[in-house]
C-alpha cells in the first residue's frame, strides 16, 4: 500500500489513492466523480490544489457573509429589545400618572 492524498477536482475533498494498485482511475468518496490518474500526477495534483484553494476562498467568503448576516440579525434583535424596553417604561409612566395625580391632589 502506497497511499497518496489527492484533492478531488470536482468537490475539493481529500481522497486517498493507492499508487501500488495500478488503477488508472478511481471515484471520489465525497461526490462520486471519476478521478483519472496519469503519469503527471504531481502536476495534476498541483492544479487540483489551486482549485481547492479557490474553493476554500469561496467558502471563507460564504462564512464571512454568514457572519455579517448574523451580526445584522443581532443588531435588529438589539433594537427590537430597546424598543420593547422604551414601550414598557412609557406604559409604566402612563400607569403612574393617575397615581401621582391622586397623591398630589390630596
Ligand atoms: Zn469529489
b/e sequence 71-102, b meaning 16+ C-beta within 10 Å:
eeeeeeeeeeeeeeeeeeeeeeeeeeeeeeee
Instruction: Decide if 17 contacts 37 (C-beta within 8 A).
Output: yes
CATH of the structural domain 3-45, one choice from 1.20.1530, 1.10.4160, 1.10.10, 2.20.28:
2.20.28
Q: Across 22-31, 42-51, 58-67, which has the greatest mean pLDDT? A: 58-67
Report how far ligand 1's centroid is from the alpha carbon of 27 (Å).
8
Enumerate the β-bridge partners of residue 3: 18
Å from CA of 12 to ligand 1 middle? 6
pTM for the model stands at 0.36
| Tens digits of residue pLDDT in 48-105 | 566 677 788 888 898 888 888 888 889 999 999 999 999 999 999 999 998 988 888 8
| Strand, coil or helix: 76 | helix
Which residues lie near ion ligand 1 (Cβ < 5 Å)? 8, 10-11, 13, 28, 30-31
* pLDDT of 41: 55
70 CA to middle of ligand 1, Å?
Answer: 30
Amino acid at each position: 500500500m502506497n497511499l497518496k492524498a489527492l484533492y478531488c477536482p470536482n468537490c475539493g475533498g481529500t481522497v486517498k489513492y493507492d499508487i501500488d494498485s495500478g488503477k488508472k482511475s478511481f471515484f471520489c468518496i465525497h461526490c462520486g466523480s471519476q478521478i483519472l490518474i496519469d503519469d503527471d500526477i504531481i502536476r495534476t495534483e498541483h492544479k487540483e490544489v489551486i482549485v481547492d484553494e479557490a474553493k476554500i476562498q469561496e467558502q471563507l467568503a460564504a462564512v464571512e457573509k454568514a457572519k455579517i448576516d448574523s451580526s445584522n440579525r443581532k443588531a435588529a434583535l438589539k433594537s427590537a429589545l430597546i424598543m420593547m424596553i422604551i414601550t414598557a417604561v412609557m406604559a409604566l409612566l402612563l400607569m403612574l400618572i393617575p397615581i401621582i395625580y391622586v397623591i398630589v391632589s390630596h
